[in-house]
A and B are shown apart, each in its own frame.
Chain A
């Protein structure tokens, strides 16, 4: 049976509101599938869904969020074959190399899952102040994070930009790689079956150049990751658009997705809240 590749918005799998789809070819230029081509209105709907999900996701305990991320890794494991085939076809890798990419992606979820309840200890602090106060700085989620996912690395790259945003309690609207959207669609199916509340991760397949400006200028988006933008001019324009509501912007840069990730993406989408608490007698 042929499959309809759809978007993943608010826990459901709608077609694009615009009714558009586009042809996805494999690395050798042969037809692979028709994917939904998301429009600005799909992005708008996704932001609404992400905002709605933010309160509940952010309010969960860090431990619980970590467990949900482990669960994503487990469910991905069960779809190993499907992911490997999609990565191999899209990125032109041998099946054994594609398997290694899927393994690395699963490991990445596990790695970030472990950070959920360790983040506050590492990034937060107890500050010495000249007064009878305890003074704490605690990391909190920024809100809705828009992600323009990497164009080349369609699964490992996508995982490496979504996981660090949601583990700290943000919700995400991600635009997948344009030419290699299939792993993103499958990742949506994993999200739907792994205790991730609907709306926490929203996946749009389509053009980052088309949807990016709408997400960058959206007043209800708190941060944007531009790593899927390949042109400097475009990235600059998006950065200007993002200044409207002072979004946190992550500029595109050369990235090695197979390398250790470090904490920079994780800490990018955090707000530090500092609390002054009077010391009792």
Chain B
């Protein structure tokens, strides 16, 4: 099953003019809402136990972008978060490291210093996060600042206002411009699916972002409710699968916000495996934007290792 019909000759063509882009995006087949939700619900009933659970928990930890995006963030808080990223469970050295630490641009340098030589990336939000309501020049400068301070990954937000009013080319050009400004940094494009309202829009925005050069498509900023949901992630995973079929390129997916329990994380991993395929069970191609999730994963890990239930008092607050 693929969302691309045979009428599209080449993906390079569809971005050649605004008209073609619009025709392509609006021509994407609609998402069967009931079907997508039912599929996500079915996938979340899988029972993952013992060694498979152990594998899933460790993989989920390695996929975490440990995130703090609050107005009250301080360099001290970021340093503490970095310490946790390096050694999530001080009582158990076998606990793997997380994939990245995600902060606001002004704290990138602090995080970079703490994480030097660890292999953990520093991700920075940019482009007037979380609303994206700013001029393109400022967004580009925001991105350049983040990269200059050492960000390995840039999480940008799309202009939802432009997208919802049908100005797809404007969104496309903006992503492309940020892509260029980000240089070698990995570009994650936040669709903010909570504001896109329909699954059809999520599918269109996913394709738009991938065509414009995203390395990752990310569900949400975490500032809007609903944030990541399983059906939305399913639709995005279908999009990256179909894009891979059409172009051979692997694009990553990052659900962010609202994933708090190990149980939820495992549901997402099952969905990844069953939708995009086992290639995506890799921190290079799938990430969780989360903070409190990590503690629950560590508690589940401890339960498997010790055979008794652990308590939150024995794990750091972040």
Contacts and interface: CB of A to CB of B under 8 A. Distances in A.
Interface of A: 44, 47, 51, 214, 217-221, 241, 244-245
Interface residues of B, number: 8
Nearest to A41: B309
Contacts of A219: 308-311, 313-314
Nearest to A44: B309
A interface majority secondary structure = helix
9 contacts: A51-B311, A217-B309, A219-B309, A219-B311, A220-B309, A220-B311, A241-B308, A244-B308, A245-B311
B311 A214 contact: no
B215 to A, nearest CB: 38
Given A51-B311, A219-B313, A220-B310, 11 more contacts: A47-B309, A217-B307, A217-B309, A219-B308, A219-B310, A220-B311, A220-B312, A220-B313, A221-B311, A244-B308, A245-B311
Nearest to A220: B311
Nearest to B308: A217
Interface of B: 307-314
A245 B312 CA distance: 12
B309 to A, nearest CB: 4
Q: Which of B307, B308, B310, B313 has the most CB atoms of chain A within a 10 A radius of its CB?
A: B308
A192 B313 CA distance: 29
A218 B312 contact: no
A92 B83 CA distance: 62
A137 B313 CA distance: 24
Which of B309, B311, B313 is the most central at the interface, judged by chain A CB atoms within 10 Å of its CB?
A: B309
A244 B307 CA distance: 12
Contacts of A51: 311-312
A242 to B, nearest CB: 11
Nearest to B311: A220
A175 to B, nearest CB: 15
A219 B313 CA distance: 8
B312 A214 contact: no
A47 B308 CA distance: 13
A214 B313 CA distance: 17
B264 to A, nearest CB: 15
Contacts of B314: 219
Contacts of B312: 51, 220
Contacts of B313: 219-220
A193 to B, nearest CB: 30
A262 B307 CA distance: 38
A184 B197 CA distance: 47
A7 B127 CA distance: 51
Contacts of A214: 308-309
A74 B188 CA distance: 60
B230 to A, nearest CB: 21
B234 to A, nearest CB: 26
Contacts of A47: 309
A244 B309 CA distance: 11
B27 to A, nearest CB: 47
Interface centre among B311, B313, B314 (most CB of A within 10 A): B311
The 10 closest A-B pairs by CB, nearest first: A220-B311, A219-B311, A217-B308, A218-B309, A219-B310, A44-B309, A219-B314, A219-B309, A218-B308, A220-B312
A121 B313 CA distance: 30
Contacts of A244: 308
B299 to A, nearest CB: 9
B24 to A, nearest CB: 48
Contacts of A221: 311
Contacts of B307: 217
Contacts of B311: 51, 218-221, 245
Contacts of A220: 309-313
Contacts of A217: 307-309
A220 B309 CA distance: 8
A214 B307 CA distance: 9
A218 B314 CA distance: 12
A256 to B, nearest CB: 34
A145 to B, nearest CB: 14
